[in-house]
Amino acid sequence: MIFRTEKDTLGMVKVPMDKYWGAQTERSRNNFRIGIEGSMPIEIIHSFALLKKAAAYANFEFGILSKKKRDLITLVCEEIIEGKLDDQFPLVIWQTGSGTHTNMNINEVISNRSHVLMGGKLGKSKSFIHPNDDVNMSQSSNDTYSTAMNIASYKKLIEKTIPSIEILRNTLEKKTKLFKNVIKIGRTHLMDAVPITLGQEFSGYVSQIDHGLNSIKKTLDHLSELAIGGTAVGTGLNSPKGYDIKVTDYICKYTGLPFKVANNKFEAIASHDAIVESHASLKQISVSLIKIANDIRFLSSGPRSGIGEIYLPENEPGSSIMPGKINPTQCESLIMVCTQVIGNDLSISIAGASGNYELNVSKPLMAYNFLQSSQLISDACSSFSNLCVKGIIPNYTKIKELLNRSLMLITILNNYIGYEKAAKISKKAYENNSTLKEEAVRLGYLTIDEFDKLVRPDKMI
């Protein structure tokens, strides 16, 4: 590999000749060989580029950055946003907790790429655009990384996570309506209970998801607050008055999203309660989704020795040794995703508590976990909706069989013969492997006609 020499305040560093990053990026690359190279989420990189473009325009309007430099910075930022320079961001999330290395990675790439666009050669002459003085003008890593985190997280929820959850929610609602007249036995404590319709059962799942969606949407307002303009500690040192508003306005213009200046930049830099709060809502819906996935796979268990009240789509063979076996794989996948999200939430909670005075020092970890959770839930909900829920069909024969055999149909008789007599009928039917009707008549509590008139599952729902 051919190298060139780059310089920062600590001295000279050798950098791969074909890369646009500079000395500070290379130092981080060499000093933090932890995990997978390039694991910094690309959404953070793209959000940074959007921010740098907005900052360049704001600095130009304040008369502190030339039009030529603004346009060069903008040109490179647009290349980054379009994904043309994705391979120029090799840093890992396990770096400085402020994300300074990634901020400088962005600054150096913009500086060196603009130098090449002007006809310069890497390592041969000084770039017209300085990474600190121009690209990072009026900024600090502390407020820029915090801002990029919120932009990336907000966009991910709006563009991916919420729409996918809504797709699953709507698919479940369709099943609720289709199954509204399918009467089945309910279950509590995993034991037979009184009747319910399959539609009513599915309506509970829809309600769970509705609550989860509402929780996520409520956190968006706090997440939309941007720390930009706070610079190092929240005071805005070295940034023009009104700079925060100007940059945020440009970000809103570029994204079409309602971002706003943070109410308190000290909080926005020193802690990330918005990320903690918003991810907690992802944990909440993950808890709901695990319950839903477990219910559906248990209801489909069998095909001959389980509950078997519903059929799931047969997507792929389920065993390498048992011919013909089909497993509820979409349910299992969703459960694993949600388990990962719940684990991510604990990490984010600890990271959110890791602010020291004026700076949180676990920003990259929080960003990584949040974006992973958001993407996983999005992908898993789409997959579960399309490859599982959409194809669910009731097993009418099994549903009717289990309903009619249930001893808990006796519950309707409490108001007519009393709890103790009803319990005696149920116990005798279980002991004798007989029906409730047979035992009610044998014990002399009811006639056949009286039993048939009272014990009607369709009147119990």
> Which one of 66, 125, 301, 319 is the catalytic residue?
319
| Alpha helices (runs of H) in 224-328, residue ranges in sequence order | 243-255, 265-270, 273-299
Q: Is 333 annotated as a binding residue?
A: no
Any residues with CB less than 8 A from the CB of 54 and at least 6 apart, and which? Answer: 247, 248, 250, 251, 254
Would you say 410 and 445 are in contact if contact means Cβ atoms under 8 Å apart?
no
Respond yes or no: is residue 211 known to be catalytic. no
Cα separation, 207 vs 203, whole angstroms: 6
- Classify residue 410 by burial, with Cβ atoms within 10 Å: 0-12, 13-18, 19+: buried
Q: Is 406 annotated as a binding residue?
A: no
Cα separation, 196 vs 194, whole angstroms: 7
* b/e sequence 335-351, b meaning 16+ C-beta within 10 Å: bebbebbbebbebbeeb
Cα separation, 88 vs 22, whole angstroms: 10
Tokens of residue 2, six digits: 């051919």
Q: Is 59 annotated as a binding residue?
A: no
Q: Is 147 annotated as a binding residue?
A: no
Cis? peptide before 90, omega within 30° of 0: no
Q: Is 352 annotated as a binding residue?
A: no
Q: Is 31 annotated as a binding residue?
A: no
Cα separation, 313 vs 126, whole angstroms: 62
Closest among 24, 78, 20, 93 to 46, alpha carbons compared: 78
Would you say 213 and 285 are in contact if contact means Cβ atoms under 8 Å apart?
yes
Cα separation, 40 vs 58, whole angstroms: 27
Respond yes or no: is residue 278 known to be catalytic. no
Collapsed DSSP state (helix, strand, coil) of residue 7: strand
In this structure, the strands spanning 3-8 and 359-360 are unpaired
Q: Is 126 annotated as a binding residue?
A: no
Q: Is 99 annotated as a binding residue?
A: yes
Q: Is 327 annotated as a binding residue?
A: yes
Output the CA angle 93-84-57, nearest 5 degrees: 85
Q: Is 141 annotated as a binding residue?
A: yes
Tokens of residue 296, six digits: 């559906």
> Which one of 115, 189, 382, 385 is the catalytic residue?
189
The DSSP letter of residue 381 is H
Q: Is 382 annotated as a binding residue?
A: no
Q: Is 114 annotated as a binding residue?
A: no
- In sequence order, the β-bridge partners of residue 195 are 185
Q: Is 390 annotated as a binding residue?
A: no
* b/e sequence 272-294, b meaning 16+ C-beta within 10 Å: bebbbebbbbbbbbbebbbebbe
Would you say 53 and 73 are in contact if contact means Cβ atoms under 8 Å apart?
yes
Q: Is 150 annotated as a binding residue?
A: no
Cα separation, 342 vs 348, whole angstroms: 10
Q: Is 131 annotated as a binding residue?
A: yes
- Tell me the binding residues: 98-100, 130-133, 140-142, 188, 320, 325-327
- Tell me the binding residues for substrate: 98-100, 130-133, 140-142, 188, 320, 325-327
* Residues assigned a catalytic role: 189, 319
